[in-house]
Amino acid sequence: MKILVFSDSHRFVDPMKRVLRLVRDSVSMVVHLGDGYYDALQLAEDYPGLPFHLVAGNCDHGDWEDINTFHVAGKKFIMVHGHMQHVKSGFLRLSTLADEMEADVCLFGHTHVPTLFYWGTTLMMNPGTIGSRRGQPTYGVIEMRDDGCALPSIVSIGENGFSLVDAWTTPVM
Protein backbone atom coordinates (compact mmCIF):
# COMPACT_ATOMS: atom_id res chain seq x y z
CA MET A 1 0.00 0.00 0.00
CA LYS A 2 1.32 3.44 -0.95
CA ILE A 3 0.40 6.53 1.04
CA LEU A 4 0.79 9.92 -0.62
CA VAL A 5 1.67 12.68 1.89
CA PHE A 6 1.07 16.37 1.13
CA SER A 7 1.42 19.42 3.34
CA ASP A 8 1.29 23.20 3.12
CA SER A 9 -0.39 23.54 -0.28
CA HIS A 10 -1.48 27.13 0.50
CA ARG A 11 -4.11 27.24 -2.29
CA PHE A 12 -1.78 25.62 -4.83
CA VAL A 13 -3.96 22.67 -5.86
CA ASP A 14 -2.40 22.11 -9.30
CA PRO A 15 0.85 20.50 -8.05
CA MET A 16 -1.20 17.96 -6.06
CA LYS A 17 -3.37 17.26 -9.10
CA ARG A 18 -0.23 16.80 -11.22
CA VAL A 19 1.15 14.25 -8.78
CA LEU A 20 -2.13 12.37 -8.50
CA ARG A 21 -2.55 12.21 -12.28
CA LEU A 22 0.80 10.43 -12.46
CA VAL A 23 0.53 8.09 -9.47
CA ARG A 24 -3.20 7.56 -8.93
CA ASP A 25 -3.15 3.89 -9.95
CA SER A 26 -0.41 3.04 -7.44
CA VAL A 27 -1.68 5.06 -4.44
CA SER A 28 -4.13 3.71 -1.85
CA MET A 29 -4.51 6.76 0.40
CA VAL A 30 -3.79 10.51 0.53
CA VAL A 31 -2.79 12.44 3.64
CA HIS A 32 -2.82 16.25 3.85
CA LEU A 33 -1.09 17.80 6.86
CA GLY A 34 -2.73 21.22 6.87
CA ASP A 35 -2.36 24.75 5.57
CA GLY A 36 -4.54 23.85 2.65
CA TYR A 37 -7.51 22.05 4.18
CA TYR A 38 -9.86 23.39 1.50
CA ASP A 39 -7.33 22.39 -1.16
CA ALA A 40 -7.42 18.83 0.14
CA LEU A 41 -11.24 18.82 0.23
CA GLN A 42 -11.26 19.97 -3.41
CA LEU A 43 -8.81 17.22 -4.34
CA ALA A 44 -10.91 14.62 -2.49
CA GLU A 45 -13.93 15.64 -4.60
CA ASP A 46 -11.90 14.95 -7.76
CA TYR A 47 -10.92 11.47 -6.46
CA PRO A 48 -14.03 10.16 -4.67
CA GLY A 49 -12.82 6.54 -4.46
CA LEU A 50 -9.55 7.45 -2.79
CA PRO A 51 -9.44 7.73 1.04
CA PHE A 52 -8.20 11.08 2.35
CA HIS A 53 -6.99 11.84 5.90
CA LEU A 54 -6.73 15.54 6.81
CA VAL A 55 -5.71 17.82 9.64
CA ALA A 56 -5.94 21.58 9.92
CA GLY A 57 -2.94 23.90 10.04
CA ASN A 58 -2.42 27.38 11.44
CA CYS A 59 -3.59 28.96 8.15
CA ASP A 60 -6.78 26.87 7.98
CA HIS A 61 -9.85 28.50 9.46
CA GLY A 62 -12.65 26.21 10.55
CA ASP A 63 -13.58 23.70 13.18
CA TRP A 64 -11.40 20.78 12.06
CA GLU A 65 -9.22 18.27 13.82
CA ASP A 66 -5.60 19.23 14.38
CA ILE A 67 -4.59 15.65 15.27
CA ASN A 68 -5.70 12.56 13.36
CA THR A 69 -4.77 8.89 13.57
CA PHE A 70 -5.14 5.87 11.32
CA HIS A 71 -3.70 2.36 11.05
CA VAL A 72 -2.02 0.68 8.08
CA ALA A 73 -0.41 -2.78 8.05
CA GLY A 74 -0.69 -2.96 11.83
CA LYS A 75 1.14 0.35 12.34
CA LYS A 76 -0.32 3.42 14.06
CA PHE A 77 0.08 6.70 12.19
CA ILE A 78 -0.48 10.09 13.79
CA MET A 79 -0.70 13.26 11.77
CA VAL A 80 -0.48 16.88 12.86
CA HIS A 81 0.36 20.12 11.15
CA GLY A 82 3.05 20.83 13.72
CA HIS A 83 2.36 24.43 14.74
CA MET A 84 0.79 23.35 18.06
CA GLN A 85 3.94 21.29 18.75
CA HIS A 86 6.24 24.21 17.82
CA VAL A 87 8.20 22.13 15.30
CA LYS A 88 10.03 25.20 14.02
CA SER A 89 11.81 25.27 17.41
CA GLY A 90 12.60 21.56 17.59
CA PHE A 91 10.98 18.15 17.79
CA LEU A 92 10.72 17.54 21.55
CA ARG A 93 6.99 18.34 21.84
CA LEU A 94 6.22 16.40 18.68
CA SER A 95 8.22 13.37 19.78
CA THR A 96 6.55 13.48 23.22
CA LEU A 97 3.15 13.45 21.52
CA ALA A 98 4.22 10.54 19.32
CA ASP A 99 5.41 8.63 22.40
CA GLU A 100 2.22 9.39 24.35
CA MET A 101 0.05 8.25 21.45
CA GLU A 102 2.25 5.17 20.88
CA ALA A 103 2.74 6.08 17.23
CA ASP A 104 4.81 4.02 14.85
CA VAL A 105 4.77 6.85 12.27
CA CYS A 106 4.39 10.58 12.91
CA LEU A 107 3.57 12.84 9.95
CA PHE A 108 3.90 16.61 10.29
CA GLY A 109 4.28 19.77 8.23
CA HIS A 110 4.47 23.51 9.03
CA THR A 111 8.21 24.08 8.48
CA HIS A 112 8.10 23.63 4.66
CA VAL A 113 11.36 21.68 5.05
CA PRO A 114 11.38 18.05 3.86
CA THR A 115 12.51 15.90 6.77
CA LEU A 116 12.78 12.15 7.26
CA PHE A 117 14.27 10.59 10.40
CA TYR A 118 13.70 8.30 13.35
CA TRP A 119 13.01 9.57 16.86
CA GLY A 120 13.44 6.53 19.06
CA THR A 121 11.31 3.89 17.38
CA THR A 122 9.00 6.35 15.60
CA LEU A 123 9.44 7.16 11.92
CA MET A 124 9.05 10.95 11.53
CA MET A 125 8.25 12.55 8.16
CA ASN A 126 7.68 16.10 7.04
CA PRO A 127 7.04 16.07 3.27
CA GLY A 128 7.93 19.74 2.92
CA THR A 129 5.56 21.98 1.00
CA ILE A 130 3.63 21.02 -2.12
CA GLY A 131 2.68 24.70 -2.51
CA SER A 132 6.15 26.21 -2.56
CA ARG A 133 6.42 29.79 -3.76
CA ARG A 134 10.19 29.57 -3.43
CA GLY A 135 12.14 26.51 -4.37
CA GLN A 136 10.66 23.29 -5.63
CA PRO A 137 7.46 21.74 -4.28
CA THR A 138 7.90 18.43 -2.46
CA TYR A 139 5.70 15.59 -1.23
CA GLY A 140 6.12 12.30 0.59
CA VAL A 141 5.38 8.68 -0.22
CA ILE A 142 5.31 5.85 2.28
CA GLU A 143 5.08 2.38 0.85
CA MET A 144 3.79 0.03 3.54
CA ARG A 145 4.52 -3.64 3.06
CA ASP A 146 2.28 -6.41 4.40
CA ASP A 147 4.90 -7.29 7.00
CA GLY A 148 4.57 -3.79 8.52
CA CYS A 149 7.83 -2.46 7.10
CA ALA A 150 7.89 0.95 5.44
CA LEU A 151 9.81 2.43 2.53
CA PRO A 152 9.54 6.23 2.97
CA SER A 153 10.64 8.77 0.38
CA ILE A 154 10.38 12.48 -0.34
CA VAL A 155 10.00 13.64 -3.93
CA SER A 156 10.65 17.04 -5.51
CA ILE A 157 8.68 18.42 -8.44
CA GLY A 158 10.86 20.42 -10.80
CA GLU A 159 10.41 21.97 -14.21
CA ASN A 160 11.98 18.88 -15.76
CA GLY A 161 9.97 16.32 -13.80
CA PHE A 162 10.23 14.53 -10.48
CA SER A 163 13.35 13.68 -8.45
CA LEU A 164 14.04 12.03 -5.10
CA VAL A 165 15.04 14.32 -2.26
CA ASP A 166 15.42 11.55 0.30
CA ALA A 167 14.56 7.86 0.21
CA TRP A 168 15.26 4.84 2.34
CA THR A 169 15.95 1.78 0.25
CA THR A 170 15.97 -0.58 3.22
CA PRO A 171 12.53 -1.20 4.75
CA VAL A 172 12.18 0.16 8.28
CA MET A 173 10.07 -0.69 11.34
Q: How many CB atoms lie within 10 A of CB 88?
A: 11
For 125-147, what is the mean pLDDT?
A: 91
- 90 neighbors 142 (Cβ within 8 angstroms): no
Predicted TM-score of the model (pTM): 0.94
Q: How many CB atoms lie within 10 A of CB 144?
A: 23
- pLDDT tens readout for residues 5-36: 999 999 999 999 999 999 999 999 999 999 99
The class of domain 8-167 in CATH terms is: alpha beta
Answer positive or negative: Cα dihedral of 6, 10, 16, 18.
Answer: negative
- pLDDT tens readout for residues 59-111: 999 899 999 999 999 999 999 999 999 999 999 999 999 999 999 999 999 99
Average pLDDT, the chain: 93
pLDDT score, position 173: 67
